[in-house]
């Protein structure tokens, strides 16, 4: 069984450790935990591990957020992975910093990365782990907030959620999405 785990973010030092790059941060933590590294490949930095009899292909698209779908489609097709075994790790303004929400499908909610993925896969029917980043920004300052660095007082919660997100990946591929949703969706951080 193969799974495609996709961490959304933007390449480049100026985007490192920003709210919008949480998908990259989760996969970087996961790589450290499972002792693998990413290598540059077509449209993404790619890592692969065997985990409890499953093969996990992990990608960090190098297409920038707005074209993430190109990388997702390419790797899903190349590895012959169906949509229900793709997991997108994404930042989400709709939830506070205390929330992680796993969903089977849903709209892009204005997120350009998810919009691109939906266009390229021709469906919104794919699992995603929504990492709440809150929405504490002034009018017309959304881009600055999303592309901004975490505040010092947020770091401890962010780190706890990154660890929990890694566990969500492991559970998603072993016990399935339903049980994993039951475990994580009502948890507060």
Report d(CA 62, CA 85) in Å as an integer.
21
Q: What are phi and psi of 27, to 5 degrees?
A: -70, -35
Active site residue 20: yes
Q: Which position among 19, 20, 101, 130 bears the catalytic label?
A: 20
Give the ranges where the chain is alpha helix by DSSP (H). 22-34, 68-79, 112-121, 142-146, 155-174, 177-184
- 27-45 burial, b at 16+ Cβ within 10 Å, e below that, comes to bbbbbeebeeebeeeebbb
Catalytic residues: 20
């Amino acid at each position: 069984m193969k799974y495609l785990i996709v961490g959304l973010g933007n390449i480049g030092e100026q985007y490192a450790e920003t709210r919008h790059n949480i998908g990259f941060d989760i996969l970087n933590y996961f790589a450290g935990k499972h002792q693998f590294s990413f290598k540059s490949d077509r449209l993404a930095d790619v890592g692969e591990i065997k985990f409890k009899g499953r093969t996990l292909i992990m990608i960090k698209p190098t297409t920038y957020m707005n074209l993430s779908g190109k990388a997702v489609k390419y790797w899903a097709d190349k590895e012959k992975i169906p949509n229900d075994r793709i997991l997108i790790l994404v930042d989400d303004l709709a939830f506070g910093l205390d929330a992680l929400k796993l969903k089977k499908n849903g709209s892009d909610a204005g997120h350009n990365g998810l919009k691109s993925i939906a266009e390229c896969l021709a469906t919104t029917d794919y699992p995603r782990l929504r990492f709440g980043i809150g929405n504490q920004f002034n009018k017309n300052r959304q881009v600055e907030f999303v592309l901004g660095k975490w505040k010092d007082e947020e770091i401890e919660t962010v780190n706890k959620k990154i660890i929990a997100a890694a566990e969500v990946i492991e559970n998603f591929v072993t016990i399935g999405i339903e049980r994993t949703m039951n475990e994580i969706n009502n948890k507060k951080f």
